[in-house]
A and B are shown apart, each in its own frame.
Chain A
Amino acid sequence: MKLKVRGVTKKFRSKNGALTALEPIDLDVQAGEFVCLLGPSGCGKSTLLNIIAGLDQPTTGEVRVDGEPARHTGTDRVMIFQNAALFPWLNVIDNVAFGLRMAGVPKIERQETARRFLRMVHLSDFESAFIHELSGGMRQRVALARALALNPDVLLMDEPFGALDAQTRDLLHDELQTIWSDTHKTVLFVTHNVREAIVLGDRVVVFSARPGKIKQIFTINLPRPRQIESYAVVDLAREMMTVLRDDVLTSEREIEQAVLRHDLEAQIEDGMRATFREVGDDVL
């Protein structure tokens, strides 16, 4: 088993007392498997992904990678964020080579590697472009190349295509499926789009909201490559939606309590900031 999530919970403190973001989560992911985490906003799926990445700490429970506890973030599990999180002070190729630079790879070698992965995501012509010159889809491709350049075993993708238009997203679905089958990475992919989850996933782990927990796991046996508009995908999505409908309604009601939600987000952000201060204190 590549990834083992055991009894992971996450609680945030808020003015109204403790807020449970994740109920105990158990999840096993095999090497080379593509697992989608599906659920409504605020169900804790992104929180779980951040914990697996080692960027957040679970309140209880643990994550094991190849049997070893993974408490800190590491380049064996690289994250791809929703808004790409590319560095605007670096051009495209330097962004892709960033992780290699941190790993101490010499310049010529890391540029070569970066070029290879830029070719893989079809952005060879843009290696010296600035980040703001790229479209949203191009940015996600650069982020994908930046992650792949480190040759991680596990790719963690946090709604990477959530902000893209439909055509770009479909194109990136095709490319991601090709890259995944060529590189045999283990992928955890967070999304709130049922059809996206079915197109990409070997398994779809459905979360329910507030507190976040695993509601059901679907195994997707459709042949690949899958198309988002194919009947098989649409039918399966409808089936899954029926199962999930009541939960989405509950979640909608929850979201109406916008104050609470805002509070949760503020808490999460505070939590992040606190983490970085701790890191800063360590260094100085």
Chain B
Amino acid sequence: MMFFRRWVANRWTRQIVFFAALLAAWQAFAWIGPLPDYVFPSPLGVAQSLARGFQNGTFILGIVASMQRILIGFGISAVAGMELGLAIGRIRLLDETVGSLVLGLQALPSICWLPLALLWFGLSEAAILFVVVMGALLSITLATEAGVKNTPPLYLRAARNLGARGWRLYALVILPAALPAIITGMKLGWSFAWRSLMAGELLYVSLGLGQLLNAGRELNDMSQVIAVMLVIIAIGLAVDRLVFAPVESRVRERWGLQG
């Protein structure tokens, strides 16, 4: 009895029980429900699709293609966004002009850029990259700007008094001081980029995870669609947990923001 109570009290236990029950209900509905297999696949079917996709390499190719795009797009956004945010945060003229433009454009879902991008760049990688960059750049810019503006003036006074000038004031004081805000912006930027990329790949056919989703629909293979959805979720979670979470917790520890 004691053992059982402790077992139920464990957070992991409750989560495992919940997801197992969810899977069981899903499987049961697929067996007894009125919908045919190609409309409502069973978890077993999805698992088979998942295994098949990895075995014949289509999922691997799709993942590699999508990851390549997002790494390039996010890389461009991160570098440009940080510099732009720094400039907007420090120079009043840019704040009043470019700053309000950025704020306005942020209201536009980045996939809305796709028609223009296709017109400008044609059916090419550049068009999708453009959409990804428009998704991530603005939120990284805005976060960096906020971080720079919220830096206590005291840090800058102390740094200048200790001899910090020019680029060193930026690289060694202003940027590090804004780091917690910048990391939050990067995280947000990443998730925007990931969403934009999937939307872009769905609409514009070229090898990638979004395209695999579309292929599943066209082949009436819902178990493949759900399998790809699971892969997309897994990548999103993995990046958040394995890349951003450790960086974030290191910064929080350093700043003493924990708890």
Closest chain B CB from A153 CB (angstroms): 14
> Is B155 positioned at the interface, with any CB of A under 8 Å from its CB?
yes
Q: Tell me the nearest residue of chain A to B253, going by C-beta.
A: A130
Pair B161/A130 contact, Cβ less than 8 Å = no
Pair B256/A85 contact, Cβ less than 8 Å = no
Pair A75/B163 contact, Cβ less than 8 Å = yes
Report how far A101 CA is from B111 CA in the complex, Å: 46
Report how far A81 CA is from B164 CA in the complex, Å: 17
Closest chain A CB from B161 CB (angstroms): 5
- Specify which of A87, A89, A98, A130 lies most central, judged by the most chain B CB atoms within 10 Å of its CB: A89
Q: Which of A75, A133, A272, A281 contacts B91 (CB 8 A)?
A: A281
**Number of A-B residue pairs having CB atoms within 8 Å of each other in the complex:** 88
- Tell me the chain A residues, 54-113 only, with Cβ under 8 Å from chain B: 54-55, 73-75, 77-79, 81, 83, 85, 87-90, 98-99, 101-103
Number of A residues whose C-beta is below 8 Å from B?
37
Report how far A277 CA is from B90 CA in the complex, Å: 6
Q: Which of B156, B167, B177, B255 contacts A276 (CB 8 A)?
A: B156
Q: Mark A122-144, 1 if CB is under 8 A from B, else 0.
A: 00000000111100000000000
- Tell me the chain B residues, 58-107 only, with Cβ under 8 Å from chain A: 87, 90-92
Report how far A173 CA is from B167 CA in the complex, Å: 38
Contacts A272-B157, A277-B90, A283-B170; A75 near B162 (Cβ below 8 A): yes
Closest chain B CB from A13 CB (angstroms): 18
Contacts A102-B168, A273-B153, A283-B169; A55 near B160 (Cβ below 8 A): yes
Report how far A283 CA is from B83 CA in the complex, Å: 14
Closest chain A CB from B168 CB (angstroms): 6
> Is B115 positioned at the interface, with any CB of A under 8 Å from its CB?
no
Q: Which of A89, A273, A277 contacts B255 (CB 8 A)?
A: A89
> Is A284 positioned at the interface, with any CB of B under 8 Å from its CB?
yes
Pair A89/B162 contact, Cβ less than 8 Å = no
> Is B254 positioned at the interface, with any CB of A under 8 Å from its CB?
yes
> Is B118 positioned at the interface, with any CB of A under 8 Å from its CB?
no
Pair A87/B161 contact, Cβ less than 8 Å = no
Pair B163/A103 contact, Cβ less than 8 Å = yes
Q: Tell me the nearest residue of chain A to B179, going by C-beta.
A: A89
- Which residues of chain B have C-beta atoms less than 8 A from A273's C-beta? 153
Closest chain A CB from B143 CB (angstroms): 17
Report how far A53 CA is from B90 CA in the complex, Å: 23
Closest chain A CB from B6 CB (angstroms): 35
Q: Tell me the nearest residue of chain B to A131, going by C-beta.
A: B256
Contacts A73-B160, A102-B162, A273-B153; A284 near B179 (Cβ below 8 A): no
Report how far A79 CA is from B160 CA in the complex, Å: 10
Report how far A89 CA is from B90 CA in the complex, Å: 20
Report how far A260 CA is from B19 CA in the complex, Å: 61
Contacts A85-B155, A272-B157, A284-B87; A130 near B254 (Cβ below 8 A): yes
Contacts A280-B91, A284-B87; A132 near B256 (Cβ below 8 A): yes
Pair B256/A133 contact, Cβ less than 8 Å = yes
> Is B154 positioned at the interface, with any CB of A under 8 Å from its CB?
yes
Q: Tell me the nearest residue of chain B to A84, going by C-beta.
A: B158
Q: Tell me the nearest residue of chain B to A134, going by C-beta.
A: B256
- Which residues of chain B have C-beta atoms less than 8 A from A74's C-beta? 163
Q: Which of A73, A132, A283 contacts B167 (CB 8 A)?
A: A283
Report how far A45 CA is from B256 CA in the complex, Å: 32
Pair A78/B161 contact, Cβ less than 8 Å = yes
Q: Tell me the nearest residue of chain A to B149, going by C-beta.
A: A273
Pair B92/A81 contact, Cβ less than 8 Å = no
Report how far A54 CA is from B162 CA in the complex, Å: 12
> Is A246 positioned at the interface, with any CB of B under 8 Å from its CB?
no
Pair A284/B162 contact, Cβ less than 8 Å = no
> Is B33 positioned at the interface, with any CB of A under 8 Å from its CB?
no
> Is A146 positioned at the interface, with any CB of B under 8 Å from its CB?
yes
Report how far A111 CA is from B179 CA in the complex, Å: 25
> Is A252 positioned at the interface, with any CB of B under 8 Å from its CB?
no
Closest chain B CB from A155 CB (angstroms): 11
Pair B90/A284 contact, Cβ less than 8 Å = yes
Report how far A87 CA is from B253 CA in the complex, Å: 14
**What are 5 A-B contacts defined by CB distance under 8 Å?**
A55-B160, A83-B154, A276-B90, A276-B153, A284-B90
Given A85-B155, A280-B91, A283-B169, 8 extra CB contacts under 8 A: A79-B158, A85-B158, A89-B254, A90-B176, A98-B159, A146-B162, A279-B169, A284-B91
